[in-house]
Structure 1
Amino acid sequence: MPDTTLLVPTPDGPADAFAAFPEGGGPHPGVLMYSDAFGIRPALRAMARELAGHGYVVLVPNVFHRQGPTPVVELPDFIGEDDRPGLVARLMPFIEAHTPERTLADAGAFLSFLSARPEVAPGPVAVSGYCFGGLLAVRTAAAHPGTVAALASFHGPVHADGLDVLSGLRAEIHFGHAAGDLTPQALAGVNAALDAAGIAYTSEIYPGTVHGFTLPDTDAFDAGASGHHWDRLLALLGSALPAG
């Protein structure tokens, strides 16, 4: 798939980003993809290219651009059990500083930039996110109901800002929760909030999974669950923003 690196103007300076495009034709529906806290790296670029191959223009911004270009901490090729605590400790100040206000300042800029690209079809776009990026995707969709037609979050803390935020969503939704992240009781609360929103959604725990199960460069990766995530994501996008 064609791809490139870009600089996205934001209120706090330019954010570096990765973009992947379908082969030929167009324009195509747009997808704003938020990475996990480890940031843009070969595995995320490959996932963006995979999605672009199904007919979507995919923009992956560096959400920690205020701290520098991605990756903001040096990463090993494979993130294993011994690597994770140290990496998370180094990233935690950036995560904690990324307030809802900071998220939304960036979100408007990211959505405007994506929608203005000549390769992107007019009209609504989709937002997806992984881990911490799943929370950013929820915040973005809640703040831009007229722009975001589809929202997907995978092993993300989607209820971290409260269930009232979920009950105000207007996009079509898929939430894929890790079994290690969410109890069945907590899932019932999330789904009740989505019921209250009166929107089309699927929200489920992927059996036997741990946090990060979609990410192939980590020890959390689960090939079967990753395949299910692609099925769910493509079905959601096909319903809300059909490509081609």
Structure 2
Amino acid sequence: MIIKNEIVDLPTATGTMRTYVYRPVEDGQYATVIFYSEIFQQTAPIARSAAIIAGHGFVVLVPEVFHELNPVGTVLAYDEKGKDKGNHDKFTKPLASHDSDTEAMIDFADQASFCNGKIGSMGVCIGGHLAFRAALNQRIGAAACLYATDLHSNTLPADDADQSLARAGDINGELLMVWGRQDPHVPDANRADINQALRDSGCLFSWHEVNGQHAFMRDEGVRYDPELALNCYRLSVDLFRRALA
């Protein structure tokens, strides 16, 4: 589908959050997918990923995930300085603040004439974790979590009982979990721990391990694998079409 994009500044419990909206040009009501970025916020690769999903007939919302910690419109570079700043932000923002951001985007979708009330989440890297985190909200019907970081480590700001994986039993929607087997951020043993935690919690999930490095979906840099990326987009679209129908 041909798409268009716009910018909205949403009020949240922790301040204004710039959110990028991608949606079909054709009039109608569509399911919403909240797309959580890497630590670098909405870079060009993230914008292209959002456009791909929107082009399959979804409204895609891309929030500035660390809006409290940066000027509006901040995009961090894919370099050491950008990585250091993004990681600092990741370990500074409480998980509870991400929860209120999700609620703000759900409120927006509920009021938008082009949304149909069905909502999913998707993300890469820390965004994969945030897509998982969003699924703790009962309005999220499906979550595509792509090489999600920090689920196993319990290192993001929250009490132990409020860590995302510890609350997996609160998830009612369907999960898609995708991992790169050559990803050093989530080694074999940690992936096994996450898998067991999801089983113990009774989650409905599918599990895919591919021969890819971390950030294999980012279409800039030496780790990009186009075939794997296309397969993951297809898995995600299939999930949303089924679970958000």
Fold shared by both chains (TM-score > 0.5): yes
1:86-235 aligned at under 5 Å gives the runs: 86-122=81-117, 124-142=118-136, 144-145=137-138, 147-157=139-149, 158-160=151-153, 161=163, 163-179=165-181, 180=183, 181-207=185-211, 209-235=212-238
Q: RMSD across aligned C-alpha pairs, in angstroms?
A: 1.8
The answer to whether the 8 A contact 2:169-2:203 is kept is: no
Q: Which amino acid aligns with 2:177?
A: F
Cα distance in 1, alignment partners of residues 50 and 203 from structure 2: 27
1:154-204 per-position Cα deviation (integer Å, ceiling 9, x unaligned)? 111233436422243211010111221333333232222222333431122
Query: How many residue pairs are counted as aligned between the two chains?
Result: 230
Cα 1:184–1:204, aligned 2, differ >3 Å: closer, same or farther?
farther
1:40-90 per-position Cα deviation (integer Å, ceiling 9, x unaligned)? 1222222111111111000001111112123243x2xxx4xxx2x332112
Mean Cα deviation higher: 107-116 or 158-167 = 158-167
Partner of 2:46: 44
Deviation at 1:98, TM superposition (A): 1.4
The answer to whether the 8 A contact 1:64-1:72 is kept is: no
Give the TM-score, by structure 1 length: 0.87
Cα 1:215–1:115, aligned 2, differ >3 Å: closer, same or farther?
farther
Cα distance in 2, alignment partners of residues 50 and 162 from structure 1: 28
The answer to whether the 8 A contact 1:6-1:18 is kept is: yes
Structure 1: unaligned runs, 5 residues or longer = none
Mean Cα deviation higher: 155-164 or 98-107 = 155-164
The answer to whether the 8 A contact 2:152-2:193 is kept is: no
Cα distance in 2, alignment partners of residues 194 and 4 from structure 1: 36
Cα distance in 1, alignment partners of residues 94 and 127 from structure 2: 13
Partner of 2:22: 20
Cα distance in 2, alignment partners of residues 163 and 89 from structure 1: 25
Tell me which of 65, 71, 89 is aligned to 1:68: 71
Cα distance in 1, alignment partners of residues 110 and 45 from structure 2: 25
Give the TM-score, by structure 2 length: 0.87
Cα distance in 1, alignment partners of residues 41 and 219 from structure 2: 14
Partner of 1:35: 37
* Higher share in strand: 2
Cα distance in 2, alignment partners of residues 4 and 156 from structure 1: 27
The answer to whether the 8 A contact 1:212-1:218 is kept is: no
Cα distance in 2, alignment partners of residues 215 and 10 from structure 1: 28
Secondary structure (helix, strand or coil) at the match of 2:230 reads helix
Kindly, what percent of the aligned residue pairs are identical?
22
The answer to whether the 8 A contact 2:4-2:22 is kept is: yes
